[in-house]
Every structure is written in C-alpha cells, then in structure tokens.
Chain A
C-alpha cells in the first residue's frame, strides 16, 4: 500500500476538498442513509452492487444476454433455414445474405445463429455434468476421508495427469464424434478441478462449529451434506463453473475445428471455421471464418469477465 501512498494521499485530499464544498450536515446525513442501505441489503443485493462495479463485466453480461437471446430465438430471427441451399456457392456478403453464403450455398448468418445455439448448449451441458460429478466426488472425498478420499483423489490425479486436450482427442477418436458424445466427453473430463475445490472447502467446513453442532444434534447425513455444507461452498463452485463454461466452449470449438466434434451439417462455431483450413477459403472468403471465430472470442471473453467479477463480488474478504 505504501507504494501507492502518494496517489492515495492525493485521493484523500481531493475527497476532503469536495466534502468541504458541501454543507457538512447534509453529507453526514447522506452517509448515514448509505450505511443503513448497506446494512439492510440482502445477500443478493450486495452481490449485485459489487458486481456492478466491474464495468467490463456489466458490458459482458449485456453481450451474453443479447447473444444468448439471439441463439435461443434463432428459429425466429434466422432469415433462412441453416441447412437449406438458398443462394450461390461462396457468395460474398450482400443485402440478401448479410454474411454471404458458404461453399454449398447456405446462408452464413442463419448458420451462425444456429451454431451459437449448439456451442452454448455444449458448453452449458458439459459444465452442468462436470459440476455435478465434481461436487459429488468432492463431497464424498472431503467428508468421509480415509480410503474413499484416497481413491478419489488418486483418480483425480490420474485424470489431471493426462494433458487435457489429448484426453479429449483420444476419447473423441474412440467414441463416435457427435453432439451428445462431445458433451459427455467434455463433462467427464472437466470435473477434477471442481472435485478438488469442493474437497478442500468441505475439509475446512467440517471443522466449523455449526457442522459439529449438527453432528451432535444427530441431524441426518443428507441434511448436513446438502443443507449445511454445500450452500457454503456454492460461491467458489459458481466462479469455477464459469471458467469451465469458457473452457469447454473453447474445447468444443477446437474439437469441431479438427473434425472430431459436432459433425456437419449441424453447425457449431468450431466446425464453421473448419473450412478455413483450405487456402481459398482462408484467403479469398474471409466472411466464412472471421465472423464465427470472432463470435467465439467475444462469447468466451465475456464469460471470463463475468467469472472474474463474480469472483470479486463473492469474495467474503472483499471490503467493498
């Protein structure tokens, strides 16, 4: 802090000068009201107030909301059927086809909307699966300890020792590539991080007085695990899940790009970029690959910013 001393001193000075401009009693009245508001606000109000301070995350939230809505309403918005041949081959963007047409004459804009749908579906479903698996294994390992803990943690180590993408690639090569297989593969590869996180939290929560109190009171195990311990680790799980969401969307894109993920004609953001491996598409038809790639970057970055703001907002040590 001392490094920033000069700057902070200046800030305090500025604040002081501002204050002296106003009537002192008015300021203290305002302050008291603000303090009262903070004291009375609910947990969610507090989270939202802290979240709002992260401007980039607010912008990201709006972007994700708009894109998510566009993906959800794709059948209504899309001007054409995504799998229907409606125009010339590889036509450049024009008024009729906003983002041009692809190699076999399908409308790129319509395909993009449907692709976003598929990519978001893969990301969300994979995140849900890995979170559920990770939470269950983490709870068991952390709460029961002993042999269960050892087996689960060694298994976690094994999964973590495989380079992530390699594991996904191998799994994708063995099982037939396809939408639901990709979701299952990503879901069952992403859980070790969450399992470790939950286990660590459970280990420390198990020693707290309120859990011990429950034990002494003879509460059923189900109640202790799911009504006492789990709600207290929801915040870090949520933060971690956003990063899993971003990661699994990136992985889906990479897999589909390599031809091992979502299979055409179903469009996903990754397999729309697949065509760019050919030189003509890469050099002469940028409308076929730049929009899809940009959309991945924007979506993943927005999700990452939201995760970052959530981390700040949910941090119990934050003084904001």
Chain B
C-alpha cells in the first residue's frame, strides 16, 4: 500500500513539473511585466535597473529555475494590481470557496447516489425515465443560465433569497445568513454535477446487479431488501468514489462562473477579476494550486478504491 502511494507520488512529480513549465511559458507569452511600467515618466535607465532587479536579463531557463526556487519557498510572486503577495491573496479567498465546494459536493452526492441507485433498481420504470431525463437536463443546462433563472424566481419574484455575496452587508453574518446566501449557488453547482453523476452511478449499479454474486445472493433467498442493501450497495461504493474524484476538477471550474454570478467572495471571483485585469501572477498561482488539488484528488481517489474494495490490488 505505502509502496503504491510512493510510486504514485513519484509519477505525479514529472506531471507537476510539466505543469509549472506550461504555467511559466504561458506567463512569458502573456508579455513582460516591464511593459506595465512603461510610460513617459519612466526613464530607460530605471527600466534597465528594474529589469536587472527582476532578473529579466537572464536567459529563459535560468529565469524559470529562479521562479521555481521562489515557488518552493512559498513565494508565488506579487499581484500586479494590488501588490499583495499571491499566496496571501489565495489564502484569504480559499475559505469561502472550500465551503461552497464542500457543501455542493455533499448536496450533489445526496442527489445523485439515491437517484442513481433507485433508477438502476427500477430500470425502465416511469421513475427511472424521470430520473434519467432530469439528469440529462442537469448536465445540459448552463450554470449561468440556471443561476439567472433562480435569481429571477427566488430573488426578484418571490424575494426569498439574497442574490449576491456571502453575508448581508453591515451584519456579522452568522450561520443562517451564510446558509441563505449559499442556497442558490449550491443548487447550481450540485445540479450540474448530479446530472452526469446520476447516469454514471446508474450504469455502474446496473452492471453490479448482473453480477454472479448477486444472482447467488438472490438464489439463497435472503430477500430483495438484503440483496440490494447488503450486497449491491456495498459494491456500489466503488463507482461513488470515482464520482467524487471526477467532481473535484469540475467543482473548481464551475465555481469560477457561479461565484462570478453570485458575487461569492471566493477564489473564482478573485480569478475572474485577475483575468479581466490581466493580473498574470495571480492567474498562474490559481492554475498551479488547482492543478495540485486535482493531482492530489486523483491520488486520494485511487487510495480510496483500495479501502472500499479489498480485491483491488495496488502495486
């Protein structure tokens, strides 16, 4: 087991280094930071001094290693716009995003797992068709359109839910206030994820139901309830773990748009404002962080497989 984990981490390292190279190349393609300084009141000599101070007179690969060295020491550079360190900016926006992602992940699992299992067990029934149609709708509706519809219904027409931010302005927030602000973003994120997950879980459970060991379980006459709840569901844990692993990159991406529409003060909102103001160090910091999160999520998923299914041998 530990051998496998070490092996996976060793495989992940070249991928991560590759990602930093792509990251750095994109940043260089985007243009030199000196261009931002140019102006009538900046002399050539000052630009030259700044160039040496930033190490831009060195060849490309040395610049990359300097950047990588800084990165390893936790220095992700400084925002061009606000002059704050990127790592501090990310740290201050990470909390709201993690909260939103965690609750959405939970909500989507609460929708997708029972719905997927139900429609597999009742294949070709009316309920199955309803669930599958809903899942197609969920994966076909653009997140921003669903957000607009929800705002139109619940904020504009009914006036039940606040449509932007995380807390009511001027108040300290508190649990209920945050929860109210979170309902709509969570619905949007969870629906889009549940859409594809329901179909995935459904087809996985359908496959499990045809296995020999379930036929045996039925043949011994232990009753339908036990067959499904004891034998089938336990084996359905494997596809559920897969679904969680697949959801994490989707969540990271979906959060960008949803946070933008609902002005949720998280990483996505920060990224969007960095993108519109071309604040490259911040964009690259977020890219790097999300790539690391995705790689770690993949690794954790593989380890979880071994935990839920002892027959999977990891070597």
Contact = CB atoms under 8 A, between A and B. Distances in A.
B290 A2 contact: no
B210 A1 contact: yes
Interface in A269-320: 270, 273, 276-277, 282-283, 286, 289, 293, 296-297, 300-301, 304-305, 308
A60 B155 CA distance: 33
A253 interface: yes
Contacts of B18: 154-155, 158
Rank and list the top 6 A-B pairs by shortest CB-CB distance, nearest first: A165-B253, A301-B140, A293-B145, A163-B252, A163-B253, A300-B140
A172 B148 CA distance: 23
Contacts of B143: 254
Nearest to B27: A174
Contacts of B272: 169, 258
Contacts of B224: 3
Interface in A235-265: 246, 250, 253-254, 257-260
B286 A297 contact: no
Size bin of chain A's contact surface: 35 or more
A167 B261 CA distance: 19
B178 interface: no
A297 B142 contact: yes
A254 B257 contact: yes
A254 B142 contact: yes
Interface in B204-260: 209-210, 215, 218-219, 224, 227-228, 249-250, 252-254, 256-257, 260
A4 B210 CA distance: 12
A165 B133 CA distance: 25
Nearest to B261: A277
Given A161-B294, A164-B253, A174-B26, A169 B275 contact: yes
6 contacts: A3-B224, A56-B133, A160-B294, A163-B253, A254-B142, A257-B144
B252 A166 contact: yes
A173 interface: yes
Interface of A: 1-4, 56, 154-155, 157-158, 160-167, 169-170, 172-174, 246, 250, 253-254, 257-260, 270, 273, 276-277, 282-283, 286, 289, 293, 296-297, 300-301, 304-305, 308
Given A3-B218, A155-B18, A254-B144, 15 more contacts: A2-B215, A2-B218, A2-B219, A158-B291, A161-B19, A161-B249, A162-B287, A165-B253, A166-B287, A173-B276, A173-B283, A257-B257, A260-B275, A273-B144, A286-B152
Contacts of B75: none
A246 B137 CA distance: 12
Interface string B103-134: 00000000000000000010100000000010
A2 B212 CA distance: 11
A21 to B, nearest CB: 25
B145 A273 contact: yes
A286 B156 CA distance: 12
B148 A170 contact: no
Contacts of B257: 165, 254, 257-258
Contact of B142 (A158, A259, A286, A296): A296
Contact of A304 (B14, B136, B142): B136
Interface in B151-187: 151-152, 156
